[in-house]
């Protein structure tokens, strides 16, 4: 599931209105311990895949607050944000809303969500780093992690076996050696590793593995650091992968990667854990061979450690206009707490905390994504990060590097300058 960050541009005026009434809303919620109704907005993932968990949370709240009516609305990701922006400053705002973890920041910066006390929520002391960062702004907590999804390596066992490789790589050098064999055998019309150039999630994993970062904060100000020696080292190694193994269109992003993979034009991807299985779906598998031949593995990094991966996922937040913030918090805990996490894990999701994540490592079916998620990175929690994403600065930099239009150093310096213009502005 791909999460898109929406910027504050265009909703700034509305957000100011939300922020201005935030304190009043909080006091109202304290004076209404038993509201008559609760409105919960979730994405269709919950509606389609784990409606029983939603019902269990409802039942827990209805038992504690007899007579309360709980209303659910379900949205696709783009639809949800459009509707939310339209109602946040009105009395029609929901009491609970699901957010992609990279969507949180713009709303937190502009005061759209109520502050919460993390100690009142199960497993908060061990929330996954990538999710915990997404609900934290300037030391305060504005949401509760719901579930996570990581990135893993995935390759075709049949193609690798054809060049004598019988097990997944444990080191980066081993990975490259294996891919070299495939590339030599299949020729330059084939991508031993299909890695879309504009996929900044993969490229930034190389940056963080090398000790670099997109941006760093000092004294309350953020400064882009893509042209640092460490970041350039990571970007250079990423470019080596593009040059050697990616023989597809070097101007594309990752949105249709699973479709390309299903066409049999590649032997490997580094992608969200669900993409391999989706490629193997009969609707997408044009080879007829993927179902029994795809294998996930923890992506090794050039540093010698596991590659740090972007940890995507969902959070639940309470809009500042909610008049039922206390009960909203209770519902969230009932839904995302210990029993809820067990239900989410049973559906193939990663849990929101390290304690439950550790239990998945002992199960062969979940060991790879669980292990990969232990080493993660997240976007800079800077007030202007939404503007960085909206301008697609990283994607432009990576395309310029991958196509050879600019050197790593020049493209990184250009990206730094563009990021620094907006990263500290709300």
CA angle, residues 3, 117, 107, in degrees to nearest 5: 35
The backbone torsions φ and ψ at residue 133, rounded to the nearest 5 degrees and listed phi first, read -60, -35
pTM over 0.85, yes/no: no
Residue among 7, 85, 90 at smallest CA distance from 323: 90
pLDDT band per the 50, 70, 90 thresholds, residue 362 = confident
Question: Domains in the chain and their CATH numbers?
Answer: 37-150+311-377 (3.40.190.10), 151-309+380-421 (3.40.190.10)
| Alpha helices (H) along 31-171 | 44-49, 51-64, 77-87, 104-109, 129-134, 157-161
225-247 per-position pLDDT tens digit: 999 999 999 999 999 999 999 99
pLDDT at position 30, please?
43
pLDDT at position 12, please?
34
Relative to beta strand 221-224, strand 140-141 is unpaired
What integer is the mean pLDDT of 122-147? 93
pLDDT at position 40, please?
98
| Average pLDDT, rounded, for the chain | 90
339-352 per-position pLDDT tens digit: 999 999 888 789 99
What is residue 126's DSSP assignment?
A: G
- Tell whether the model's pLDDT for residue 26 goes beyond 50: no
65-96 per-position pLDDT tens digit: 999 999 999 998 878 888 999 999 898 999 99
pLDDT at position 33, please?
63
pLDDT at position 16, please?
35
Relative to beta strand 136-137, strand 140-141 is antiparallel
Q: Which two tokens stand for residue 150?
A: 């990581």
pLDDT band per the 50, 70, 90 thresholds, residue 273 = confident
- Tell whether the model's pLDDT for residue 276 goes beyond 50: yes
What would the DSSP string read from start to end of 255-323?
A: TTHHHHHHTT-BSEEEEETHHHHHHHSTTT-SSS-STTTEEEEPPB-TTSSBPPEE-EEEEEE-BTT-S
For residues 94 and 39, the answer to whether their CB atoms sit within 8 Å is yes
- Tell whether the model's pLDDT for residue 201 goes beyond 50: yes
Does 275 or 348 have the greater pLDDT score? Answer: 275
pLDDT at position 14, please?
35
285-325 per-position pLDDT tens digit: 999 999 999 999 999 999 999 999 998 889 999 999 999 99
- Tell whether the model's pLDDT for residue 8 goes beyond 50: no
């Amino acid at each position: 599931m791909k999460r898109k960050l929406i910027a504050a541009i265009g909703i700034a005026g509305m957000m100011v209105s939300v922020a201005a009434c935030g304190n009043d809303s909080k006091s109202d919620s304290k004076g209404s311990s038993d509201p008559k109704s609760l409105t919960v907005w979730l994405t269709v993932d919950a509606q389609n895949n784990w409606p029983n968990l939603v019902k269990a949370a409802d039942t827990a709240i209805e038992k504690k607050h007899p007579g309360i009516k709980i209303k659910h609305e379900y949205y696709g990701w783009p639809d949800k944000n459009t509707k939310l922006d339209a109602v946040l400053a009105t009395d029609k705002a929901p009491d609970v809303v699901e957010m992609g973890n990279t969507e949180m920041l713009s709303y937190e910066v502009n005061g759209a969500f109520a502050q919460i006390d993390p100690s009142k929520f199960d497993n908060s002391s061990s929330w996954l780093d990538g999710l915990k960062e997404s609900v934290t702004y300037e030391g305060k907590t504005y949401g509760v992690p719901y579930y996570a999804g990581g990135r893993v390596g995935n390759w075709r066992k049949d193609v690798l076996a054809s060049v004598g490789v019988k097990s997944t790589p444990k080191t980066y050098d081993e990975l490259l050696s294996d891919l070299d064999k495939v590339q030599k055998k299949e020729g330059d019309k084939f991508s031993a590793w299909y890695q879309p150039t504009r996929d900044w999630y993969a490229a930034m994993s190389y940056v963080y593995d090398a000790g670099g970062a997109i941006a760093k904060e000092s004294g309350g100000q953020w400064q882009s650091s893509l042209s640092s020696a460490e970041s350039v080292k990571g970007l250079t190694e990423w470019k080596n992968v593009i040059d050697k193994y990616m023989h597809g269109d070097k101007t594309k992003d990752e949105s249709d990667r699973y479709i390309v993979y299903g066409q049999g034009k590649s032997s490997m991807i580094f992608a969200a854990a669900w993409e391999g299985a989706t490629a193997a779906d009969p609707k997408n598998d044009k080879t007829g061979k993927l179902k029994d031949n795809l294998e996930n593995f923890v992506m090794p990094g050039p540093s010698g450690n596991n590659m740090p991966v972007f940890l995507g996922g969902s959070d639940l937040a309470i809009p500042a206009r909610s008049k039922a913030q206390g009960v909203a918090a209770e519902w969230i805990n009932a839904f995302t707490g210990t029993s809820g996490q067990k239900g989410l894990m049973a559906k193939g999701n990663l849990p929101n905390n390290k304690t439950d994540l550790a239990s998945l490592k002992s199960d062969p079916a979940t060991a790879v994504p669980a292990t990969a998620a232990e080493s993660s990175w997240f976007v800079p929690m800077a007030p202007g990060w939404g503007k960085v994403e909206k301008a697609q600065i990283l994607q432009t930099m990576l395309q310029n590097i991958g196509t050879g239009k600019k050197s790593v150093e020049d493209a990184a310096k250009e990206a730094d300058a563009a990021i620094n213009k907006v990263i500290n502005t709300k």
